[in-house]
Amino acid sequence: MGNPLTITFVVYIAAMVLIGFFAYRSTNNLSDYILGGRSLGSVVTALSAGASDMSGWLLMGLPGAIYMSGLSEAWIAIGLTVGAYLNWLFVAGRLRVQTEHNGDALTLPDYFSSRFEDQSGLLRIISAVVILVFFTIYCASGIVAGARLFESTFGMSYETALWAGAAATIAYTFVGGFLAVSWTDTVQASLMIFALILTPIIVLISTGGFDTTFAAIELQNPAHFDMFKGATFVGIISLMGWGLGYFGQPHILARFMAADSVKSIAKARRISMTWMILCLAGTCAVGFFGIAYFSAHPEVAGPVNENHERVFIELAKILFNPWVAGVLLSAILAAVMSTLSCQLLVCSSALTEDFYKTFLRKNASQVELVWVGRLMVLAVALIAIAIASNPENRVLGLVSYAWAGFGAAFGPVVLFSVLWKGMTRNGALAGIVIGAVTVIAWKQLVDNELLDSKLYEIIPGFLLASIAIFVVSKLGAPTLSMISRFEKADEAYHIGK
């Protein structure tokens, strides 16, 4: 009989790939491959939006940060919860209707160029380039998280773990496209919430209940309880600023576009927010209670002190029967796979729909486009693996850069485009370019110590992009057909919900 951990992992990965083959049978054209033929019900929409959002950082980066610094790191969870709720409230339903009314758009670049009647193709090209640049970095963060998991679970070298962690995700995304990604996300979201509710409860029991645990954390460092420890106004704003990123994440917005109707959005919002709050609370609890556990058991604290992002992995391996530990560690794989798969798919759809079909092969058949889509999944995955091959990469660092890039480049454009009929094509262009450039420039200046600032780059990026959209749009005027389409879609949204 093999190692229970290995068997659990293999069974889990095989199940995901099998779902990919089932989805393959429902994939007949590019719309099916990219958006699942807009057929997702509220439960799948909710859980796949949640799972595609919460990548490896949910079970590695965040518990690690709380383990190191205490509750002062929890502001990021509060910011994300607020941002996700506002995204569901203001963007989800409206974007679902606007994409349908604007040429039945399948991708964000597709939507932008139809919504703003961009004949030049410039808006489509620039937004597709932004997607490819930031998503390749984002995919790399998922591959790093997967590699760390395989490395610490099976004692593989980092190089072998890179390929082992990425292979299964690439397989089912390649074969089944959007439906495979959404169905597997639903399974993965269920696994993640199970792991994040069960683990902190068992850690708490093994450290002797609330009183003993809190006393042990207090003894370790009383400041761990202080949410404002070492916090500056800029620091708190930066952590809360993560919430702004939601408005511009293509892999999450794709879930809204794929919902079967506006009606399912409200129900999906309730399911998704409940799932998210429970997961984030569980994550914070794992990192926090882990402080008490490892201070009581210093003999097993070595791997966590070496790399604090392993706190969840080590607790699962120490406290649970190997079969249960296998299921819990599969939850990290689930978090990594669910996000990586939809990011690969968004990159693939940008390359296929926005470059190949638009500029190279206008009359390409649906079968050809689906296969081009599959080849693009492979191409992007290989580049992401190359970026991830540096073992010094920290998961949260890579994610924060990509998250800021999308949040600033697309967030304001998406928000304005679904809420304001006065927005113009030049306003959209200015917003994307200024948002992306600000994030890259800010990050470079801070990294090279030319700018002494702790402000997260998404905040100046989002702010300047919003000002640019408003000012540049006011300098021109939208066409009558743009206004009329916007009003029709807006009316359909209010009737539909």
> Could you report the per-residue pLDDT of 301-323, keeping only the tens digit for each?
888 888 888 898 889 888 888 88
Can you tell me the mean pLDDT for 175-179?
Answer: 71
468 within 8 A of 429, measured Cβ to Cβ:
no
- Does any domain span residue 471? no
In this predicted structure, which of 292-301, 368-377, 407-416 has the lowest mean pLDDT? 368-377
pLDDT in tens, 123-163: 988 988 888 888 887 888 778 878 877 887 788 888 888 88
The separation between the first and the last C-alpha atoms of the chain, rounded to the nearest angstrom, is: 54
pLDDT at 204 over 80: yes
CA separation for the pair 483, 481 (Å, rounded) = 5
Task: Please give the mean pLDDT across all residues of the chain.
Answer: 85
What is the pTM for the complete model shown? 0.86
- Of the spans 43-52, 74-83, 303-312, 447-456, which averages the highest pLDDT? 74-83
- Does any domain span residue 453? no
The model's confidence at residue 51, banded by pLDDT at 50, 70 and 90, is confident
Give me the pLDDT at residue 395, please. 55
Give me the pLDDT at residue 217, please. 87
Give me the pLDDT at residue 2, please. 56
Three-state secondary structure string covering the chain? CCCHHHHHHHHHHHHHHHHHHHHHCCCCCHHHHHHHHHCECHHHHHHHHHHHHCCHHHCCHHHHHHHHHHHHHHHHHHHHHHHHHHHHHHHHHHHHHHHHHCCCCCCHHHHHHHHCCCCCCHHHHHHHHHHHHHHHHHHHHHHHHHHHHHHHHHCCCHHHHHHHHHHHHHHHHHHHHHHHHHHHHHHHHHHHHHHHHHHHHHHHHHCCHHHHHHHHHHHHCHHHHCCCCCCCHHHHHHHHHHHHHHHHCHHHHHHHHCECCCHHHHHHHHHHHHHHHHHHHHHHHHHHHHHHHHHHCHHHCHHHHHCHHHHHHHHHHHHCCHHHHHHHHHHHHHHHHHHHHHHHHHHHHHHHHHHHHHHHCCCCCHHHHHHHHHHHHHHHHHHHHHHHCCCCCCHHHHHHHHHHHHHHHHHHHHHHHHHCCCCCHHHHHHHHHHHHHHHHHHHHHHHCCCCCCCCCCHHHHHHHHHHHHHHHHHHCCCCHHHHHHHHHHHHHHHHHC
Where residue 138 sits, what CATH number does that domain have? 1.20.1730.10
pLDDT at 35 over 80: no
- Does any domain span residue 448? no
Amino acid letter, residue 33: Y
Percent of the chain with pLDDT over 70: 96
- Does any domain span residue 23? yes
Domain that includes residue 28, residue range: 4-395
The model's confidence at residue 1, banded by pLDDT at 50, 70 and 90, is very low
Nearest residue to 243 (alpha-carbon basis) of 110, 114, 80: 80
Of residues 26 and 16, which shows the higher confidence score? 16
Give me the pLDDT at residue 152, please. 76
pLDDT at 259 over 90: no
The model's confidence at residue 434, banded by pLDDT at 50, 70 and 90, is very high
The model's confidence at residue 418, banded by pLDDT at 50, 70 and 90, is very high
CA separation for the pair 431, 66 (Å, rounded) = 35
CA separation for the pair 388, 478 (Å, rounded) = 43
Give me the pLDDT at residue 493, please. 92
Can you tell me the mean pLDDT for 414-442?
Answer: 95
- Does any domain span residue 362? yes
- Does any domain span residue 47? yes
Half-sphere exposure of residue 87: CA atoms within 13 angstroms, side-chain side: 32
Task: Look at the chain and count its residues.
Answer: 497
CA 397 to chain centre: 14
pLDDT in tens, 366-409: 778 778 877 887 888 888 888 888 766 665 566 778 889 999 99
Report the alpha-carbon angle 238-243-247, nearest 5.
130
Token digits for 335? 């978090």
The model's confidence at residue 282, banded by pLDDT at 50, 70 and 90, is very high
Amino acid letter, residue 232: T
Of residues 472 and 70, which shows the higher confidence score? 472
- Does any domain span residue 480? no
CA separation for the pair 458, 297 (Å, rounded) = 40
Angle 158-206/263-296 helices, nearest 10 degrees?
A: 80
In this predicted structure, which of 94-103, 220-229, 262-271 has the lowest mean pLDDT? 220-229
CA distances to 181, 190, 330 from 137, in Å:
20, 27, 23
Give me the pLDDT at residue 337, please. 77
Nearest residue to 437 (alpha-carbon basis) of 471, 460, 414: 460
The model's confidence at residue 113, banded by pLDDT at 50, 70 and 90, is very high
Give me the pLDDT at residue 324, please. 85
pLDDT in tens, 215-249: 888 888 888 888 888 778 888 888 888 899 999 99
- Does any domain span residue 172? yes
Give me the pLDDT at residue 391, please. 65
Count structural domains, the chain. Answer: 1
